[in-house]
Amino acid sequence: MDKVERIGVSLDKKLLSMFDKLIAKLGFQNRSEAIRHLIRRQLSGERLQHPKARAVGAVFLVYDHHSTKLMRKLTDLQHSHILQTISSMHIHLDEHDCLEIIVLRGQVGEINKMADSLLSLKGVKLGRTNLLATEPT
């Protein structure tokens, strides 16, 4: 662990009270832990603005499993982006719909491009992507 520095933060009572309620609700053990978490989250969010930043992403897709063309295209896209595709999970939601979660790793720009290709496939009913920028090396 890097050397730790202690800092002091001045907050008005109302803001501190709201912060304490929030961190209690979120389950943090103490203010320091909560502040560290919020800073890391903000820094990660900032890095996502840079297309070359390293990141991991999960693409969630809901589609009708009767669309065999779509299933083949999903598989083809993952095979042609083998370096970015870490893993995928298939869940049978009901008699019609399937949920596919595809986990990607790489640069933000590459992940977004791949995610857009997946989400725009004909037959995808619902979809979204969640990205997290990983620590810079």
User: Under the criterion CB under 5 A, does residue 113 sit at the interface with Ni ion?
Assistant: no
Contact 74, 118 (CB under 8 A): yes
Contact 37, 28 (CB under 8 A): yes
Contact 97, 104 (CB under 8 A): no
Choose the stretch contacting Ni ion; rule: CB under 5 A; options: 29-37, 78-86, 97-105, 117-125.
97-105
Least distance from C-beta 92 to Ni ion, angstroms? Answer: 4
Helix (H) and strand (E) counts in the chain? 4, 4
Q: Fill in the per-residue mask, 56 to 95: x = in contact with Ni ion (CB under 5 A), - = not in contact.
A: ---------x--------------------------x---
**Residue 127 in 3-state DSSP?**
strand
Give the residue at shortest CB distance from Ni ion: 98
Q: Which is nearer to Ni ion, 98 or 115 (CB)?
A: 98
Choose the stretch contacting Ni ion; rule: CB under 5 A; options: 38-46, 49-57, 78-86, 98-106.
98-106
Torsion sign over Cα 83, 87, 92, 93: negative
**Residue 67 in 3-state DSSP?**
coil
Q: Which two tokens stand for residue 52?
A: 């070359």
User: Under the criterion CB under 5 A, does residue 124 sit at the interface with Ni ion?
Assistant: no
Q: Which is nearer to Ni ion, 46 or 76 (CB)?
A: 76
Q: Which is nearer to Ni ion, 65 or 73 (CB)?
A: 65
Largest CA distance in the chain: 59
Work out which of 55, 58, 59, 98 binds Ni ion, going by CB under 5 A: 98
The residues that touch Ni ion, with contacts defined as CB under 5 A, are 65, 92, 98
